[in-house]
Amino acid sequence: MNQNNANPSANLPPSFTNVIRQSKLFDGVKPGYYLAELEKCHLFEAAPNDLLITVGKENKNTYFVLSGTLYIHMEKSDSPPIRHVGEGETVGELSLLGETKATAFVVVQTPSTLLMVPREVMWRLIRRSAIIAQNLLFILTDWIISDNERFLDRSREVEDLKGLSQQDGLTGLLNRRMLDNTLNRVYSRSQMCDKPFSVIMCDVDHFKAYNDQHGHKGGDCALVALADVLKEAVRPLDFVGRYGGEEFTIILPDTSLEAALVVAERLRKEVENRNIFHVDGTPLSSITLSLGIATSAPDSSVEQLIEQADQRLYQAKHGGRNRCCSG
**What value does the mean pLDDT of the chain take?**
88
What local confidence, expressed as pLDDT, does residue 159 receive?
62
What local confidence, expressed as pLDDT, does residue 194 receive?
86
Q: Which of 246, 258, 303, 307 is catalytic?
A: 246
Give the residue range(s) of CATH 2.60.120.10 domains in the chain.
Answer: 2-143
CATH level 3 topology of 161-325: Alpha-Beta Plaits (3.30.70)
Q: What would the mean pLDDT of 229-252 be, rounded to a whole number? A: 93
∠279-281-285 over CA atoms, to 5°? 90
What local confidence, expressed as pLDDT, does residue 78 receive?
84
Active site residue 58: no
What local confidence, expressed as pLDDT, does residue 84 receive?
87
Enumerate the β-bridge partners of residue 113: 45, 67
Most confident of 33-42, 135-144, 295-304, 312-321: 312-321
What local confidence, expressed as pLDDT, does residue 157 receive?
63
Classify 2-143 by CATH class: mainly beta
| Residue 2: φ, ψ to 5° | -90, 40
Distance CA 92, CA 297 (A): 31
What local confidence, expressed as pLDDT, does residue 257 receive?
95
Residue 151 has pLDDT above 70, yes or no: no
Q: What is the DSSP string of 166-177?
A: GB-TTT-SB-HH
What local confidence, expressed as pLDDT, does residue 9 receive?
43
Q: What would the mean pLDDT of 54-70 be, rounded to a whole number? A: 92
Q: What would the mean pLDDT of 254-265 be, rounded to a whole number? A: 94
∠48-254-259 over CA atoms, to 5°? 45
Distance CA 218, CA 196 (A): 38
CB 116 within 8 Å of CB 3: yes
What local confidence, expressed as pLDDT, does residue 152 receive?
62
Give the residue range(s) of CATH 3.30.70.270 domains in the chain.
Answer: 161-325
pLDDT tens digit string along 93-118?
Answer: 877 666 678 888 999 999 999 999 99
